[in-house]
Chain A
């Protein structure tokens, strides 16, 4: 999207540059584009769901197809849209916020992206190859083990491949944040977005391996005749539920914590105040991260774990409301008495506060195990998790995009279109999901293809669908905004918002080495500290010297392609053993690329001091 580069080089060279890049800022672009594309696909699936439910006894789509779009909507939005866009944001911002020249493992960073993309492509290839997965995004056994066709197989292999990429990203950012902070950037001076990414990375590290195992077991059951979830062989399908939610519950915090960070940055910047209760915010983030692991069985209250287990998980779940409440009040107190600028990024943040509070309140309602027997698998649950995931994560992503767009691309998104996007989406969101609480309480179950007329559900569903069209319109306006901003020439300086943190101390978009000289951090909100002392720039912490940079590499792309090919082999060898060829070819390509990587030294190159002095702009 950085059009300046396209003019200088041919399209082929431009494409090659992005396929081989190990620059975290370009990988951020890739994550945004791919994640954005999957967001549109997932949104399209949502629209189909809402159109089907616009009136009772509708026959717009068939029951089987409905199961597929429902499954793919959830799976796509969680794994292929929300997470990758957050990965895009963290790639774009975290190294800049901590004053690092690069991430700890640039090669692994690229590999993580390509694994995600090829996993996502594999999953979506199912649409064209006999049908998508249809067992819900949770893929509960035995529904998933007995689902005919190859849909669930695509789910298993697609998520396995992209999940591996996510794990790499998590480790990479943990090490980056611990080892590569600029001089003076102590833990308690890290911007809150970096803090939330740090905790998120810990969650990724400890949550994703459980999914890896779950997917392996499901794969073995479906493809190789094992009996983990098959009661006739002594298997137990509740094992899947445990493994899935041991991953799945932390996953929702993997999604929400980063946008808590986003809102903290946006609100303090546009209220012209330091974040209220910074220490408490850090503590709350860590506590939420910890508690996120302790509550997975609240998804399983009705499984029959017994009142003791249910009570423990209910209380642990309710406990999360405490640190979350601390955060909400700290945001309010950050705004209190601030000199507030209400622009697009800030609108999303202000809209988030009441919306997420509603989502949190219904969360506590659901956490009451006894009451959950009533809410379970109803539209109340659907309303709750859309209030937190759309009202939290998606609002946060929009806020972040408007806030950091100038840093990433050197251009400011149009404010009028930005505000129009917000109002269309915000109104549409509440129209769609607020009424679903009541639909749920009136007995409308989730995941059902049709509902019957004259049961009091007609009007609510109609309003809900109208709201969905508003959200779609908001998204289209945002796309128009992105395109019209991209073709415009207008460029911005390094610090368009009068920012507080390090990323605003360097040009927009940043040079590929980020910082010519590493900055000396002298307090929380380091750039603001310098500004209050009358300086415009950061004080350098080191003399100008050569900068070591990593080499570009095609190997991550090749490795991921190998796994992609092998994925098809695994899926189809069930029908015809000759497909094992694809397994061997694909794994051969992947392992071959790993072998090349391990025997070829990659020492990188240096940008020389003299070139930096020339101000190689």
Chain B
């Protein structure tokens, strides 16, 4: 149970993200945090499902949603999850350069997703006159999708900070867990989007 760990070891262990006690703690703690996040999003989904028909005199989900843009967004985010897997693959092979490259691609794809979402919201607000204050449906929609978007934005800031901070010193047992949990977070965001895509957009359009 020693807390000792040396920086920049010559050979990285097989699972650098949990080779130290500190890493193990971060790894486990973050999984628990994601458990809490699951309840957070479950509560938001429950609220949305209860209110999705309460659109008053405003537009309904079926009138609003266009699946083309949402399809592009889904592809961007799913791909970004894949690229973050590549990044972790290279982390485990102790190839810092390639890890940074794939994380960079992940960030770009995430930015693309966020840009589409902002465009979507802008379109609803100015084109369809559908806002946060339009109806309970509007409030629930922007809250659920907006919470997810906020998570995406936070994740992008997080990964970028990690990349910039560690650019010059490479991979070690101190920052490997940090990269790893950032990628876990990114997968979680992706999973939540799959549910949003299904529950909000697909069911909204055809359900």
On A, residues with C-beta under 8 Å from B are: 101, 104-105, 167, 171-172, 174-175, 178-180, 182-183, 205-210, 212-214, 216-217, 220-221, 224-228, 230, 233-236, 239, 242-243, 246, 518, 542, 545-548, 595, 598-599, 601, 603-604
**Nearest 8 Cβ contacts at the A-B interface:** A234-B54, A548-B3, A226-B139, A234-B136, A209-B40, A213-B43, A209-B39, A104-B25
State how many angstroms separate the Cβ of B47 from the closest Cβ of chain A.
Answer: 6
Flag if B165 contacts A599 (CB, 8 Å).
yes
Contacts of B39 in A (CB 8 A): 205-207, 209-210
State how many angstroms separate the Cβ of B137 from the closest Cβ of chain A.
Answer: 6
Given A234-B56, A235-B136, A167 contacting B36 (CB threshold 8 A) = yes
Contacts of A226 in B (CB 8 A): 132-133, 136, 138-139, 143
Interface membership of chain B positions 134-175, coded 1 if the CB is closer than 8 angstroms to chain A and 0 otherwise: 011111100100000000000000100110010000000010
Flag if B136 contacts A228 (CB, 8 Å).
yes
State how many angstroms separate the Cβ of B92 from the closest Cβ of chain A.
Answer: 21
State how many angstroms separate the Cβ of B39 from the closest Cβ of chain A.
Answer: 4
Contacts of A180 in B (CB 8 A): 1, 21, 25
Flag if B44 contacts A213 (CB, 8 Å).
yes
Tell me which residues from 52 to 68 in chain B have a Cβ below 8 Å from any Cβ of chain A.
Answer: 53-56
Contacts of B122 in A (CB 8 A): none
Find B51's partner among A171, A183, A221, A228 (CB 8 Å cutoff): A228
Contacts of B51 in A (CB 8 A): 228, 234-236, 239
Flag if A239 contacts B54 (CB, 8 Å).
no
Nearest-neighbor residue (CB-CB) of A225 within chain B: B133
Contacts of B32 in A (CB 8 A): 171, 174-175, 205
State in angstroms the CA–CA spacing of A175 and B24 once bound together.
9
Nearest-neighbor residue (CB-CB) of A547 within chain B: B3
Flag if B136 contacts A208 (CB, 8 Å).
no
Find A228's partner among B4, B28, B47, B53 (CB 8 Å cutoff): B47
Question: Is B37 close to A, CB under 8 A?
Answer: yes
Flag if A175 contacts B135 (CB, 8 Å).
no
Flag if A234 contacts B40 (CB, 8 Å).
no
State in angstroms the CA–CA spacing of A548 and B22 once bound together.
11
Contacts of B24 in A (CB 8 A): 179
Flag if B29 contacts A104 (CB, 8 Å).
yes
Contacts of B133 in A (CB 8 A): 224-227
Question: Can you name 21 A-B residue pairings with CB atoms under 8 Å?
Answer: A104-B25, A104-B28, A167-B36, A171-B32, A171-B36, A174-B29, A175-B29, A179-B25, A179-B28, A182-B1, A205-B36, A206-B35, A207-B39, A210-B40, A217-B143, A220-B143, A221-B139, A233-B139, A546-B4, A547-B3, A548-B4
Contacts of A242 in B (CB 8 A): 46
Flag if A171 contacts B29 (CB, 8 Å).
yes
Contacts of B191 in A (CB 8 A): none
State in angstroms the CA–CA spacing of A175 and B21 once bound together.
11
Flag if B1 contacts A183 (CB, 8 Å).
yes
Nearest-neighbor residue (CB-CB) of B28 within chain A: A175
Flag if A105 contacts B29 (CB, 8 Å).
yes
Contacts of B46 in A (CB 8 A): 239, 242
Nearest-neighbor residue (CB-CB) of B54 within chain A: A234
Find A545's partner among B2, B132, B174 (CB 8 Å cutoff): B2
Nearest-neighbor residue (CB-CB) of A216 within chain B: B143
Question: Is B50 close to A, CB under 8 A?
Answer: yes
Nearest-neighbor residue (CB-CB) of A100 within chain B: B1
Q: Which interface residue of B43, B44, B165 has the most chain A CB atoms within 10 A?
A: B43
State in angstroms the CA–CA spacing of A167 and B138 once bound together.
29
Flag if A598 contacts B165 (CB, 8 Å).
yes
Contacts of B158 in A (CB 8 A): 598
Flag if B135 contacts A227 (CB, 8 Å).
yes
State in angstroms the CA–CA spacing of A601 and B22 once bound together.
13
Given A217-B143, A233-B139, A212 contacting B54 (CB threshold 8 A) = no
Given A105-B25, A175-B29, A214-B43, A235 contacting B1 (CB threshold 8 A) = no
State in angstroms the CA–CA spacing of A506 and B158 once bound together.
41
Contacts of A210 in B (CB 8 A): 39-40, 43
State in angstroms the CA–CA spacing of A179 and B30 once bound together.
13
State in angstroms the CA–CA spacing of A178 and B18 once bound together.
14
Contacts of B33 in A (CB 8 A): 171
Given A545-B2, A601-B174, A227 contacting B28 (CB threshold 8 A) = no
State how many angstroms separate the Cβ of A387 from the closest Cβ of chain B.
Answer: 30
Interface membership of chain B positions 94-137, coded 1 if the CB is closer than 8 angstroms to chain A and 0 otherwise: 00000000000000000000000000000000000000110111
Nearest-neighbor residue (CB-CB) of B32 within chain A: A171
State how many angstroms separate the Cβ of B195 from the closest Cβ of chain A.
Answer: 15
Flag if A209 contacts B36 (CB, 8 Å).
yes
Nearest-neighbor residue (CB-CB) of B52 within chain A: A234
Contacts of B21 in A (CB 8 A): 179-180
Nearest-neighbor residue (CB-CB) of B43 within chain A: A213
Contacts of A179 in B (CB 8 A): 21, 24-25, 28
Contacts of B1 in A (CB 8 A): 180, 182-183, 518, 542
Contacts of B143 in A (CB 8 A): 216-217, 220, 226, 228
State how many angstroms separate the Cβ of B163 from the closest Cβ of chain A.
Answer: 12
State in angstroms the CA–CA spacing of A163 and B129 once bound together.
36
7 A-B pairs besides A214-B43, A239-B47 with CB distance below 8 A are: A174-B32, A209-B39, A217-B47, A227-B139, A235-B51, A235-B139, A236-B50
State in angstroms the CA–CA spacing of A200 and B37 once bound together.
18
Nearest-neighbor residue (CB-CB) of A102 within chain B: B3
Find A213's partner among B28, B47, B53 (CB 8 Å cutoff): B47
State in angstroms the CA–CA spacing of A214 and B40 once bound together.
10
State in angstroms the CA–CA spacing of A174 and B30 once bound together.
11
Flag if A233 contacts B36 (CB, 8 Å).
no
Given A236-B50, A239-B50, A545-B2, A206 contacting B139 (CB threshold 8 A) = no
Q: Which interface residue of B55, B143, B162 has the most chain A CB atoms within 10 A?
A: B143
State how many angstroms separate the Cβ of A512 from the closest Cβ of chain B.
Answer: 14
State in angstroms the CA–CA spacing of A250 and B44 once bound together.
19
Flag if B4 contacts A233 (CB, 8 Å).
no
Q: Which interface residue of B39, B44, B161 has the most chain A CB atoms within 10 A?
A: B39
State in angstroms the CA–CA spacing of A28 and B196 once bound together.
41
Flag if B43 contacts A233 (CB, 8 Å).
no
Flag if A209 contacts B37 (CB, 8 Å).
yes
Q: Which interface residue of A210, A220, A233 has the most chain B CB atoms within 10 A?
A: A233
State in angstroms the CA–CA spacing of A598 and B50 once bound together.
39
State in angstroms the CA–CA spacing of A242 and B24 once bound together.
36
State how many angstroms separate the Cβ of B51 from the closest Cβ of chain A.
Answer: 7
State in angstroms the CA–CA spacing of A185 and B23 once bound together.
21
State in angstroms the CA–CA spacing of A220 and B142 once bound together.
11
Contacts of A212 in B (CB 8 A): 40
State in angstroms the CA–CA spacing of A210 and B161 once bound together.
30
State in angstroms the CA–CA spacing of A212 and B33 once bound together.
14
Flag if B36 contacts A206 (CB, 8 Å).
yes
State in angstroms the CA–CA spacing of A604 and B37 once bound together.
30
Flag if B36 contacts A228 (CB, 8 Å).
no
State how many angstroms separate the Cβ of A269 from the closest Cβ of chain B.
Answer: 27
Q: Which interface residue of A171, A178, A542 has the most chain B CB atoms within 10 A?
A: A171
Flag if B54 contacts A595 (CB, 8 Å).
no
State in angstroms the CA–CA spacing of A172 and B30 once bound together.
10
Nearest-neighbor residue (CB-CB) of B142 within chain A: A226
State in angstroms the CA–CA spacing of A216 and B51 once bound together.
16
Flag if B47 contacts A233 (CB, 8 Å).
no
Contacts of A217 in B (CB 8 A): 47, 143
State how many angstroms separate the Cβ of A577 from the closest Cβ of chain B.
Answer: 16
State in angstroms the CA–CA spacing of A269 and B54 once bound together.
59
